Structure 1
Amino acid sequence: MGESLKGKVAIITGGGRGIGAATARLFAREGAQVVIASRTQHELQGIIAQIEDESGKGKALAVVADVSREEEVQQLFGECLATFGTLDILVNNAAVIEKRDFIDFDAETWDSIMAVNIRGSFLCSREAFRQIEKAGRGGCIVNLSSLSGVRGPEKFPGMSSYVVSKYAVTGLTESLAVEGKPLGIRVNCVAPGAVETAMLRKAAPFLKTSTTPEDVARTILFLADESQTRHMTGALIEIFSNE
């Protein structure tokens, strides 16, 4: 067990499984107190149990929240403040995907994807800015984009909504990195390709990868650990599979 995040308070959205769960476990092992948010209660409780087994009681708090809903995001940040104190680190990981041909895409589904993937990142980042500014000691945000949201890699058919949302997350990162500088808030982004998660199996079951959620979590930890990356803001780290 390390201590790179000792004394830090972190909120991780989409923390019930995959990259979010791996990040929550790793952050707790590195000394942070973590608040994990998800829409699914039973997934959250399973991750809390794992963290308590590995890192001890009182290291984690589960909050059921839909990040697309402003009042639920405010409640999430309020519970974090009441339980652990002022936030230091936010990981915007919550995301959904729906695969279908563009010509058949209905507006309601499109809007629901944008609501979670980009509105959620906006709402959580805004609450983080407000809480961190009030405390006056700085902090950091790590956003999860995707190789789907950067220029270069060929995009898969049927994933237009996801691609657009992840480009938006990349743009949000660049904007917040500028606005965060006067407040001492670093904002960086990780853009993984294929990762062995339930989302990959849903969206592209034909893809094979050796990249695990734990691999991505270590990159997120690198960006969150100010002893290593206090000089970095506005960065985008792309993760390509080695297969």
Structure 2
Amino acid sequence: MFRLERPAPEHLEQFHEHGFVSFPGVLTDAGRLGLTGEIFATPAVQEFLRAPAAARAGGPRPHRLSLVPWLDLGVWGERLFDAPFVSALLGAVIGARWHFCHAQLRVSLRGARGLGYHHDNLPVVLAERDRWYVQMLYYPEGFTRGDASLRVVPGSHKIREWREEHQPYGPTLREGSLPLLDELYAGQVGRPLRAQELELPPGSLVVLDGRTLHAVSPKPSHSPQAMRTVVISCSRNRGASPQYTGDPRGVARAG
């Protein structure tokens, strides 16, 4: 499934310093194709792709499908939770006691709008927001800059005290103006808050500290890539409250 058995020390150093680390092309060809097959076998995805363009264009997020949690994983998707590389990475970051929280699936077609700057560390129990929440974002097709690409804000995971207007968790998608966030919080983290837009080949992985601010670029109507999918596997400290409920495999996937 993975071309690596464990992360290198420099990978972990980047993760802790910048709040994210990328692994370009880390999925094997078999793993990437197997995961893609399971995505397209998901009934909700099939229904979404069959729908008329006018129907997909409606709603708050046109031409975008979000499944949270994603429960239709097969044998390839299951390996994203217990492969040696995943266990080694989560063990090095969280420690020996961690558990799988939930999986998500996103499908973006041409014309999908972008997402503003935000973070996803939203525990059910607010007091646990400083415990680990690690997101592993798998991109079977990869992406180029400006085409449903991921933009991250290095160092933003170190923000610990949100101003009153951003309480209790931080900015929402509508509030995620990076210049304003830089003005308000750069002093707290000791560095300017600047976006880094990624570009990754097929079969890549980005690991995010759940507190890291990030955004997604729109998918242009003229994009040469018809669709961009991402599977997100999320894990927390074992015993911590979940982000979402409804996935009974959380305990089974405990480290």
Larger helix share, 1 or 2: 1
Question: Looking at CA atoms only, which structure, 1 or 2, has the larger radius of gyration?
Answer: 2
TM over 0.5: no
Task: With a CA cutoff of 8 Å and minimum separation of 6, indicate the structure with the bigger relative contact order.
Answer: 2
Relative to the length of structure 1, the TM-score reads 0.28
